[in-house]
Amino acid sequence: MDFKKFSFLHVSTFETTLIEYVKSLDAPPSLKESMLYSLNAGGKRIRPMLVMAVLDAYGKDPFHGLGAACAVEMIHTYSLIHDDLPCMDNDDMRRGKPTNHIVFGEGLATLAGDALQPAAFHIIADNLNYTNEQKIALISELAQASGATGMVGGQVADIEAEGQQVSVRLLEKIHEMKTGKLIEFSVVAGAILSGASQIDIAYLRTFAKHLGISFQIRDDILDIEGDQELIGKPVGSDQKNQKSTYPSLLTMNGAKEMLAEQVAKAKDSLAFVKCKPDMLIEIIEMIASRKN
């Protein structure tokens, strides 16, 4: 089965689970509406599908990963809501729709992001299909991936680097944290729920690291060469915010060469794992050539 068909068969159930969880919360209707607005905004659902694809690679039921898949999408969505705020990137459009704060106001948008973060940990802790050991491992991984040592730390480093010419290595470090850590969680979560060995998990972490950097390089390229209709937001926002990017540091050709190197390293890492990595190889190729 190719990844397009895999996603078609699994995204609907994932999205239904995600939305029904939020609807079931005993919370103010306006808060749930704001949360659901961004969760329903669409997107590629790469992170949740990675959780499920790793399970499939090990011959396990992909739907066993629904809890972890919902959790990582909640964290990702909260980060997008906050990224778009006037105090951060000040973006008016996200995935072809007005951003959350444009529709609901800054206060409610901020609180919707705040609410999604603990919900992510609750949906794992409350999952009846995960063992206590799996819950502890998943919560620990997600906390590290999303907090000061991961996504949030990367966002801070990204803000502090605005208006400066940073080194390629520092830029890589920023994106390993800001983008890569949640992708790493997605891959490792699927491995944990599959009962993969620690050796396999180590190789899969390396795969995820290169996958995350590839994702960001492609993002930087699309911010210059992308079609605004396809990517759902204005191009050129990185330049507007004076951010260092791979094309600005390496030239466009250099960025594309680095992307090819990262893809090759990701594929090399999969040569050592004891699963069927075909779909994971397809995912890295898809990310490297995506148009949105």
pLDDT in tens, 142-156: 999 999 999 999 999
Residues 6+ apart with CB under 8 A from 3: 49, 53, 279, 282, 283, 286
Three-class SS state of 275:
coil
Residue 274 vs residue 89, higher pLDDT: 274
pLDDT range class, residue 105, cuts 50, 70, 90: very high
User: In sequence order, what are the beta bridge partners of 98?
Assistant: 93
Q: What is the pLDDT of residues 45-85, one digit of tens each?
A: 999 999 999 999 999 999 999 999 999 999 999 999 999 99
Side chain identity, residue 278? D
**Can you tell me which residue has the tokens 């901020």?**
110
Residue 101 vs residues 72, 92, 209: alpha-carbon distances, Å: 22, 8, 31
How many whole angstroms separate alpha carbon 246 and alpha carbon 171? 8
Q: What's the pLDDT score for residue 89?
A: 87
**Candidate from 53-57, 92-96, 119-123, 267-271 with smallest mean pLDDT:** 92-96
Q: What are 10's two structure tokens?
A: 């699994």
**Cβ contact 53:106 at 8 Å:** no
Residue 291 burial (C-beta neighbours within 10 Å; 0-12, 13-18, 19+): exposed
Instruction: State the Rg of the chain over Cα.
Output: 18
Q: What is the CATH T-level fold of the domain 3-289, as seen in this structure?
A: Farnesyl Diphosphate Synthase (1.10.600)
CB atoms within 10 A of CB 129: 12
CA-based nearest residue to 144, from 194, 205, 230: 205
Which region holds residue 42: left if phi is over 0, alpha if psi is between -120 and 50, else beta? left
Say if CB 56 and CB 127 are below 8 A apart.
Answer: no
CA distance 234 to 70: 28
Q: What pLDDT digit, counting tens, does each position of 106-148 carry?
A: 999 999 999 999 999 999 999 999 999 999 999 999 999 999 9
pLDDT above 80 for 243:
no
DSSP string, 153-205: HHHHHHHHTTTS---HHHHHHHHIIIIIHHHHHHHHHHHHHHT--HHHHHHHH
Q: Poorest-confidence range of 100-104, 235-239, 260-264? A: 235-239
Residue with tokens 């599908």: 49
Alpha-carbon span 214 to 287, nearest angstrom: 7
Task: Give the torsion through C-alpha atoms of 24, 25, 26, 31, to 10 deg.
Answer: -120
Q: What is the structure's pLDDT at 30?
A: 98
Both tokens of 77, joined, read 């969505």
Q: What residue spans define the domains of the chain?
A: 3-289
